[in-house]
Amino acid sequence: MIRKITATVIAASALIAFGASGQPARKVAPKPAARPSGSLNWAVTSAATPEGNHVLGNPAAKLRVIEFVSYTCPHCSHFETESEGQLKIGMIAPGKGAVEVRNFVRDPVDMTVALITNCVAPSKFFQLHTAFMRLQPQWIGPLATSTEAQRQRWMTGAFTTRTRAIASDFKFYEFMAARGMDRQTLDRCLANEALANKLAQQTDYAVDKLGVTGTPSFMIDGILLAGTYDWASLRPQIMARLD
């Protein structure tokens, strides 16, 4: 079952203190003209929104599924594995719909991974996002086996010291080296406190303004889907809108 999260828990456990609960009004950017469905594989077309979230697929598609996900959420990892192929083949690739991923930060480790995935070029976000999600069982072990001393390193001290400690304990340096990012580049990503504040504020906004209480959660047509926390419950709602 979905893990419920309140604004109080988030504020207490996030890597940095959340900012104001409100978020600036959404910038309305003109949508690019839709290319004819079938003229290309939209499943390899990605872009960033004005708010900094990430969209995979035809940006002008009538159907957009918004996912609120956390990298340390096992249900999010399961959803990614179960849904990715079906979403790409049946909805995204032919241009019928798009998926927008919004980070919902739950804890310091989640924040550290989000700093990494949001540090790369928008065109590379989904490849890295999928890797962290699908391989979560391989890297998340220290979350359960860490010592008290390790957890203190994650929660106290200078911002960059904390993120680098997490990256070291969870072997993110090795994880990213295997994907072409050297240690110096990764350290710059982990030092981006402005991005951390932005991600925290976006999470706060999702809680206070949109009613998101846990992950994964989904929105379609601006409506938060009640009782929808996995692929089995989301799939029929997507199919009904594709008919």
pLDDT, one tens digit per residue, over 154-203 is 999 999 999 999 999 999 999 999 999 999 999 999 999 999 999 999 99
Q: Does residue 142 form part of some domain?
A: yes
pLDDT tens per residue across span 59-97: 999 999 999 999 999 999 999 999 999 999 999 999 999
Nearest 5°: phi and psi at 108?
Answer: -60, -35
- Position 31 scores a pLDDT of 43
Q: Does residue 11 form part of some domain?
A: yes
DSSP 17: -
Q: Does residue 121 form part of some domain?
A: yes
How many independent structural domains does the chain possess? 1
What range does the domain containing 145 cover? Answer: 3-15+45-242
The half-sphere exposure of 219 on its side-chain side, counting CA atoms within 13 A, is: 16
- Compute the residue count for the chain: 243
Q: Does residue 98 form part of some domain?
A: yes
Q: Does residue 22 form part of some domain?
A: no
* Residue 14 CB coordination number (10 Å): 20
Among 1-10, 48-57, 76-85, which is the least confidently predicted range? 1-10
Q: Does residue 187 form part of some domain?
A: yes
Q: Read out DSSP for 59-90?
A: TT-SEEEEEEE-TT-HHHHHHHHHHHHHHIII
CATH number at residue 146: 1.10.40.110
Q: Does residue 96 form part of some domain?
A: yes
Q: Does residue 34 form part of some domain?
A: no
Angle between helices 108-117 and 148-155 (to 10 degrees): 60
